[in-house]
Amino acid sequence: MRALVTGAGGQIGQALVPTLLKKGYTVLATDIRPLDFPTETRLLDVTDTEALRTLLKAWKPDQVYHLAAYLSARSEKEPHGGWALNFSANWALFEAALESGVQKVFWASSIAAFGPHTPRSRTPQYTIMDPIGLYGIAKLATERLAEYFHQRYGLDVRSVRFPGVIGPGHLPQGGTTDFAVHMFYEARQKGAYTCYLAPHTRLPMLYIDDAIQAILQLMAAPAERLSVRSAYNIQGLSFSPAELEAEIRKQVPHFSCRYEPDFRQKLAESWPESLDDTPARQDWGWNPHYDTLPRLSQAMWEAILAKA
């Protein structure tokens, strides 16, 4: 099985590429920056439509894992670039995938596709979606576009709405949920952290191992079992910065956290606190392993110490 991964240098890509290789895939990893993987890598700007089409036609992947994106905070700072990467490049990819005979396409949606009128607790799969940030607007538009390409052209396109993804080794940049990774590292290195969200802002989160498992499970599911062609809700656990601070203090008793909310606070308040992921559980067996804060924290500390 030949797999093309875009945005392979990002948080999810750095974990996904080695996992695909272990499973026997032939992988071409791409990014706009040089990559260091034990497989073929290539520089690719996915907003360059001709370069994207040429690569797919030449390399002929069976599956594409499209992870290239500007995250929420960066999209607010660079709106035109964010739209080009988070929406226009997806449209170009779907067209190129059809032309090249790609069997399956995975792309990453986000809880940012929801908005202030969405029910915040156990957010349903189908509900009001009125995102206020450009990142979420692009994700919602791509969800509709993915449905269109599936219904109109038969493209086997699949997605999940990722909550905040937490994992070691890669410090994400430009996201609203980044605090959940940064707090661990700052606690260990400095014993203090300044958080850009208010202390009791609860958000859904997912450990990186569960994020990779979700992608692999969804891509392995028979097409006839899938009832959602926009993007599936998936829930791991939910917590606030204050709850994470208290959990980290169990390992770093002297740890202190200051709270100085910035423009990301408004985005976070418009997103769900938790998600109803019943369709994902029923359709393709979604069942996260890291579903409590103590379990996730233990995994993070073990991984951080192992890489030290």
CATH number of domain containing 123: 3.40.50.720
Alpha carbon distance, N-terminus to C-terminus of the chain: 34
Q: Which residues of 268-283 are buried (b: 16+ CB within 10 A; e: fewer)?
A: bbbbbbbbbbebbbeb
Confidence (pLDDT) at 73: 87
Mean pLDDT of the chain: 96
pLDDT category at 175 given cuts 50, 70, 90 is confident
Is the model's pTM score more than 0.75?
Answer: yes
Q: What are the pLDDT digits (tens) for 135-150? A: 999 999 999 999 999 9
Residues 153, 126 within the same domain: yes
Verify that 96 and 183 share a domain, yes or no.
no
- 16-56 pLDDT, tens digit per residue, is 999 999 999 999 999 999 999 999 999 999 999 999 999 99
- CATH label of the domain that carries residue 244: 3.90.25
281 falls within a domain: no
152 and 253 housed in the same domain: no
State the total domains in the chain. Answer: 2
What is the pLDDT, as a whole number, of residue 87?
98
Model confidence at 169, in pLDDT bands (50, 70, 90)? confident
Q: Judge whether 221 lies within some domain.
A: yes
Does the annotation count 135 as an active-site position? yes
Per-residue confidence (pLDDT) for residue 129, from 0 to 100: 98
User: Is residue 280 assigned to a domain?
Assistant: no
Say if residue 155 is in the same domain as residue 248.
no
| Confidence band, pLDDT 50/70/90 cuts, at residue 174 | confident
Q: Is residue 283 part of a domain?
A: no
Tell me, rounded to whole angstroms, the distance of Cα 169 from its chain centroid: 16
Q: Any idea which of 24-33, 58-67, 139-148, 165-174 has the lowest mean pLDDT?
A: 165-174
Q: Are residues 76 and 98 in the same domain?
A: yes
Active-site residue, selected from the candidate residues 135, 196, 232, 290: 135
Percentages helix, strand, coil for the chain (3-state, rounded to 5) are 45, 20, 35
Structural domain for 219, as ranges: 2-163+207-233
| Same-domain status, 84 and 122 | yes
pLDDT of residue 172: 63
- Cα 128 to chain center, whole Å? 21
Structure tokens at 131: 């995102």
Contact (Cβ atoms closer than 8 angstroms) between residue 286 and residue 214? yes
Q: Is residue 285 part of a domain?
A: no
% of the chain exceeding 70 in pLDDT:
99
Shared domain check, 100 and 27: yes
Pair (89, 170) in one structural domain = no
Shared-domain flag, residues 12 and 129 = yes
Together in a domain, 50 and 188: no
30: in domain: yes
Judge whether 47 and 89 are in contact, CB under 8 Å: yes
Looking at the fold, whether 101 and 87 belong to one and the same domain comes out as yes
Q: Is 128 a member of any domain?
A: yes
Co-location of 214 and 90 in the same domain: yes
260-271 average pLDDT score = 95
| 79 within a domain of the structure (yes/no) | yes
